[in-house]
Amino acid sequence: MTTSPLAELSAHAASLLARIDEVTTLAELTQQEPHIVGKRSILSALQKSLGGLAPEERKAAGAQLQEVRRRIDEAFAARRGVLEALARAQALEADRLDLGDVVVTQVRVPLAAGHPGIVAATQRQLEDVFVAMGFVVADGPEVESDWYNFEALNIPPAHPARGMWDTFYVDLGEPETVVLRTHTSPTQIHLMERAVLEGALPIHSVMPGRCYRRDTPDARHLAAFHQIEGLVVDRGIAFADLAGVIETFTHAYFGPDISSRLRPAYFPFTEPSAEFEITCTICRGQGCRTCSQTGWIELGGCGMLDPAVLEAVGVDGDEWSGFAFGFGIDRCAQMRHQIADMRALIDNDVRFLRQFS
């Protein structure tokens, strides 16, 4: 006995719909697809078998087959939709960070905050000391003409005193020689010139800044270093005023147990001139490598303003007199913090720098 295709169809339709419902993953559905709705499906085989039916019968069976196929296709598409939604939900669940169960610890990575370098900090402290003593702070250029750096300071070309400063020249061509200033003393000249022009004498100023010399770096020297210049122009100024300022400054900045002394010296722009020294703070006067075994460290030079300098800038030497001093800021930092070798200031070793934050 042969079974009619239509009887077969309804049996197969039920089993195909059940099969679709049983599929639980997208991968499995894809794998089943050719057997349920594709060319290798039972429906395709039935379609082919309709050719053997009588035309009337074939028409009715064809329409029924189309209906079954539509239901199977719909069920298949619906199942695919369900399984895709399930897969998305599972993926989201896998990615979800359940903050309810997690103890969130805020990890603070400390950022190293910068701080002023030791020389900049020393410069500020020195300015504070002098401002407290009644000085005002002024500024001057680092690149100077020969006239400001030397000639106006009573150091004409070919003067042997030029040998006191190994100079960096800036090649700008004619008309004048230009240098990186070898000391802060040229700022004295700028200040006095301006004060004369503006009728703004007297002057009580300090002028900190960077200087340059062709010095070979060693325990007490750098090629680029800092000085602070002091200038007083007033009526009736005497050497005792200068000595008093140096003494007051030394105790204010280094403390009462550090002594200072003035020793006769020569600078072309001051007369009389002196060198200003303090007890070496590294060895407390016992003698060490830093102070070349002398127990003293030279901080700077000073003296009464030479009449030739006053004349160069148009200050009336009969009415005004004054003094100047200039000493090393790096040297002060070195002595204040007992740094045996000044080159440590430019090594940029953070272990050294951190000590002064």
Closest approach of Cβ 245 to ligand FA5, in Å? 12
Site residues for ligand FA5, 80-139, by CB under 6 A, read none
**Interaction of residue 79 with ligand FA5, rule CB under 6 A:** no
User: Which region, judged by CB under 6 A, interacts with ligand FA5, from 123-131, 134-142, 241-249, 299-307?
Assistant: 299-307
Q: Which is nearer to ligand FA5, 298 or 341 (CB)?
A: 298
Query: Which residues have a Cβ under 8 Å from the Cβ of 247 and sit 6 or more positions away?
Result: 260
Q: Which is nearer to ligand FA5, 13 or 335 (CB)?
A: 335
**Interaction of residue 302 with ligand FA5, rule CB under 6 A:** yes
User: What DSSP line would sit under 23-53, residue for residue?
Assistant: --SHHHHHHHHHHHTSTTSHHHHHHHHGGGS
**Interaction of residue 324 with ligand FA5, rule CB under 6 A:** yes
User: From CA 262, how far away is CA 315, in angstroms rounded?
Assistant: 27
- Tokens linked to 170: 């800036």
Q: Which is nearer to ligand FA5, 130 or 327 (CB)?
A: 327
Contact residue for ligand FA5 among 209, 268, 303, 322 (CB under 6 A): 303
**Interaction of residue 204 with ligand FA5, rule CB under 6 A:** no
- Residue tagged 């602070």 (tokens): 228
Q: Which is nearer to ligand FA5, 82 or 133 (CB)?
A: 133
Closest approach of Cβ 130 to ligand FA5, in Å? 14
The CA-atom distances, in angstroms, between 73 and each of 59, 65, 77, 194 are: 21, 12, 6, 100
User: From CA 14, how far away is CA 294, in angstroms rounded?
Assistant: 113
Site residues for ligand FA5, 255-294, by CB under 6 A, read 267, 270, 273
- Tokens linked to 92: 């989201």
How big is the site for ligand FA5, counted in residues (CB under 6 A)? 24
The CA-atom distances, in angstroms, between 326 and each of 5, 115, 209 are: 118, 27, 11
**Interaction of residue 241 with ligand FA5, rule CB under 6 A:** no
- Please state the φ and ψ torsions of residue 110, each to the nearest 5 degrees: -70, 125
Q: Which is nearer to ligand FA5, 53 or 243 (CB)?
A: 243
User: From CA 43, how far away is CA 321, in angstroms rounded?
Assistant: 122
**Interaction of residue 299 with ligand FA5, rule CB under 6 A:** yes
**Interaction of residue 69 with ligand FA5, rule CB under 6 A:** no
User: What DSSP line would sit under 124-193, residue for residue?
Assistant: HHHHHHHHHTT-EE----SEEEHHHHTGGGT--TT-GGGGGS-PPEE---SSS-EEE-SSSHHHHHHHHH
Contact residue for ligand FA5 among 155, 331, 336, 339 (CB under 6 A): 331
For residue 153, the number of C-alpha atoms closer than 13 Å in the C-beta half-sphere is 28
Of 73, 66, 19, 74, the closest CA to residue 47 belongs to: 66
User: From CA 247, how far away is CA 259, in angstroms rounded?
Assistant: 8
Label the pairing between strands 143-145 and 270-279.
Answer: unpaired
Of 143, 210, 140, the closest CA to residue 171 belongs to: 143
Q: Which is nearer to ligand FA5, 5 or 303 (CB)?
A: 303
Closest approach of Cβ 150 to ligand FA5, in Å? 11
User: Which region, judged by CB under 6 A, interacts with ligand FA5, from 5-13, 137-145, 285-293, 328-336?
Assistant: 328-336
**Interaction of residue 209 with ligand FA5, rule CB under 6 A:** no
Closest approach of Cβ 327 to ligand FA5, in Å? 5
Q: Which is nearer to ligand FA5, 17 or 329 (CB)?
A: 329
Q: What angle do CA 213, 266, 208 make, to 5 degrees?
A: 45
Contact residue for ligand FA5 among 69, 183, 190, 336 (CB under 6 A): 183
**Interaction of residue 298 with ligand FA5, rule CB under 6 A:** yes
Give the footprint of ligand FA5 on this chain (CB under 6 A): 183, 185, 213, 215, 221-222, 225, 227, 267, 270, 273, 298-303, 324-328, 330-331
